[in-house]
Amino acid sequence: MEFKIDTKTTYTHITPIANLLDAKLTESIRQKWEQLRQRGSHNLIVDLQNCINADKMAFEKLKQLHEDLYDGGNSLVFTGLQDNLADELKNTNISNELNIAPTIEEAVDIINMEILERDLFNEES
């Protein structure tokens, strides 16, 4: 799978170059995340602007990826969902469990707020 990747100080923005969001693509995103994490990236924005179709298994895998990142103290935000994809995701009720932002700017805001929350929580501990 091909990805467009933009690494910033506090997050990495990854855009899959694929029309179909399926289990294969989500596994490729997971593998790419592992590579990025090993290089020191802690937060991820996945831009799904190119995906116009999806299968239900992909949504389950996105949920698992989300849980894995958060279990590791990292953040994950999805953005760029086409309307039909957003509707399909809402029908699965998984959308309530994921961070979804309409724009990159809002995704960055979510990442930054979660970094602040983790920092504050760690200071209180």
Q: What is the mean pLDDT of the chain?
A: 92
How many domains is the chain built from?
Answer: 1
pLDDT in tens, 37-79: 999 999 999 999 999 999 888 999 999 999 999 999 999 999 9
Q: How far apart are CA 88 and CA 51, in angstroms?
A: 12
Q: Is the pLDDT of residue 125 over 70?
A: no
H/E element holding 45? strand 43-47
The parent domain of residue 94 ranges over: 3-124
Residue 4 pLDDT greater than 60, yes or no: yes
101 has pLDDT over 90: yes
**Which CATH number goes with the domain that contains 89?**
3.30.750.24
Among 38-42, 51-55, 90-94, 113-117, name the one with the lowest average pLDDT. Answer: 90-94
CA–CA gap between residue 76 and residue 74 (Å, rounded) = 7
For the chain, what percent of residues have pLDDT higher than 90?
Answer: 80
46, 89, 125 from 119: Cα distances, Å: 23, 31, 10
At 93 the pLDDT is 81
Name the 3-class secondary structure at 11. Answer: coil
